[in-house]
Structure 1
């Protein structure tokens, strides 16, 4: 085969591989962006006290995409790390002009004996939680334990007042009160995935 012809075939083959790679990448991106999140289960309804006054009923918040976190303020590691990650997602959503309007965060304390309104307000300020779109909720020990149990969150109070709890305690709920995804917390929290999933539900 002549060298010139061989070069043409080589160039053509390279271009074809590039085109196929780009087409495959474009399909994968389109597919991942447009694939709907599955429905896990209906979100259990609840009513708890809002530290900024009044009560919050989950089904009363219908119409917004919500990210629900279970935590306690004295948690030494997983909870504050999760809340810090949520605060970063909060700031990203603000740049999209959807936080507080289309998206709302709910943080539910399951340690009412120590997590008073004042303690939780200090925690919220320290963690840079914008309460215009982020509600911090509490209730009695029985109320919060019941809510956690209805979501499938495992809780066990220790002798020192701390808690052992599920590390998958972060729930993404759509506008129609359906849980669409459950995430790990702390170091295992997939923050980019959470952010992208929230935007998917906003666009639905």
Structure 2
């Protein structure tokens, strides 16, 4: 018996063809959703950020001489770091990394704030902080540099942020290596709650910081 030619085979029914195409589309869409969900889960998108404790209220002096603190920051997430302008070791790199965070979160604008606290406030006047910020191309609408009373700064940083800072006892004023401070970024949400610590020496941690800051700014945290 001879095989039928393709032209002699019955054509598929239009209804069955449409049904097959619809189911094929559903399968493709489902696979796409699974792939997207897997990627998002891998990034931790659906994992809430931990709540690590509220900050105490504080007010210090910004690089423009204006008071700046929890009152001005309320309602906006912010990233904090801790530096001093005459630091000869880690601070230049730490500040460069904050500048990179500023660049990579630029689309968020002033909704996400960056705050650098001086751990050497007797030397770091507002004028020196302004000059320091300009050196790193700080956008002062987003990035503030704070100075003030040493005891109050130390209390806020050590007791509030849980970041180490201080000076070796008996050190000379020009002994800059005697000044020490932590090198973690701290992420704070719009209510003043600490939501994460990120090692500035770890590139992956800095990437997580940027992603988590975007989540908080967009109310996904």
Cα distance in 1 for residues equivalent to 2:67 and 2:55: 18
Number of matched pairs: 181
Cα distance in 1 for residues equivalent to 2:109 and 2:91: 21
Cα distance in 2 for residues equivalent to 1:105 and 1:195: 12
Matched residue, 2:213? 198
Aligned 1:147-158 pairs, distance under 5 A: 147-150=156-159, 151-158=161-168
TM-score, normalised by the number of residues in structure 2: 0.74
What residue ranges of structure 1 are gaps of 5+ in the alignment? 1-20
Q: Are the structure 2 counterparts of residues 25 and 78 from structure 1 closer, same or farther at C-alpha, using a change threshold of 3 Å?
A: farther
Matched residue, 1:15? none
Matched residue, 2:9? none
Name the SS of the counterpart of 1:34 in structure 2: coil
Q: Are the structure 2 counterparts of residues 188 and 30 from structure 1 closer, same or farther at C-alpha, using a change threshold of 3 Å?
A: closer
RMSD between aligned residues: 2.2
Q: Highest relative contact order (Cα 8 Å, sep 6+), 1 or 2?
A: 1
Matched residue, 2:92? 80
Cα distance in 2 for residues equivalent to 1:141 and 1:167: 19
> Is residue 55 from structure 1 mapped to residue 71 from structure 2 by the alignment?
no
2:180 maps to which of 164, 167, 186? 164
> Is residue 43 from structure 1 mapped to residue 58 from structure 2 by the alignment?
no
Matched residue, 2:202? 188
Cα distance in 2 for residues equivalent to 1:70 and 1:52: 18
Matched residue, 1:27? 37
Name the SS of the counterpart of 1:125 in structure 2: helix
What residue ranges of structure 2 are gaps of 5+ in the alignment? 1-30
Cα distance in 1 for residues equivalent to 2:75 and 2:188: 10
Name the SS of the counterpart of 2:109 in structure 1: coil
Matched residue, 1:131? 140
Larger Rg: 2
Q: Structure 1 stretches (4+) deviating beyond 4 angstroms?
A: 21-25
Q: Are the structure 2 counterparts of residues 197 and 178 from structure 1 closer, same or farther at C-alpha, using a change threshold of 3 Å?
A: same
